[in-house]
Amino acid sequence: MQSVISKVNDKYKKKQVVDVMPGDTVRVHQKIREGKKERVQVFEGMVIRVNRKKSHTATVAVRRIASGVGVEKTYLLHSPLVLKVEVVKRSKVRRNYLTYMRDRRGKSARLTGVEFDRDAVNTIHDEQAEAEEEKLKEETAKTAEAEAAKKEEVAAKEEAKAESAIAAHKAVEKPEESEKPEK
For residues 112 and 159, state if they share a domain.
Answer: no
d(CA 96, CA 21): 8
For residues 174 and 106, state if they share a domain.
Answer: no
Task: Indicate if the pLDDT at residue 167 is higher than 80.
Answer: yes
d(CA 5, CA 9): 6
For residues 83 and 140, state if they share a domain.
Answer: no
Averaged pLDDT of the chain: 82
Last residue of a domain, one of 78, 110, 125: 125
For residues 121 and 143, state if they share a domain.
Answer: no
For residues 75 and 113, state if they share a domain.
Answer: yes
Task: Indicate if the pLDDT at residue 177 is higher than 70.
Answer: no
pLDDT interval class at 44 (50, 70, 90): very high
Full domain range(s) for residue 45 = 2-125
Of 33-47, 85-99, 168-182, the least confident: 168-182
For residues 105 and 170, state if they share a domain.
Answer: no
d(CA 102, CA 113): 19
Summary count for the chain: helices (H), strands (E)? 3, 6
Whole-model pTM: value is: 0.60
Percentage of residues of the chain with pLDDT beyond 70: 88
Last residue of a domain, one of 125, 145, 174: 125
Task: Indicate if the pLDDT at residue 151 is higher than 90.
Answer: yes
Beta partners for 87? 26
pLDDT score recorded for residue 154: 92
Report how far apart, in Å, the C-alpha atoms of 173 and of each of 108, 161, 170, 178 are: 78, 18, 5, 9
Task: Indicate if the pLDDT at residue 145 is higher than 70.
Answer: yes
Q: Residues 81, 64, 88, 90: is their CA dihedral positive or negative?
A: negative
For residues 141 and 120, state if they share a domain.
Answer: no
For residues 116 and 149, state if they share a domain.
Answer: no
Number of domains into which the chain is organized: 2
Phi, psi of 52 (to 5 degrees): 50, 60
For residues 64 and 94, state if they share a domain.
Answer: yes
> Exposed, middle or buried: residue 126 (CB in 10 Å: 0-12, 13-18, 19+)?
middle
**Residues ≥6 apart with Cβ < 8 Å to 26:** 18, 20, 44, 45, 46, 47, 60, 62, 85, 86, 87, 88
pLDDT interval class at 1 (50, 70, 90): low
For residues 156 and 68, state if they share a domain.
Answer: no
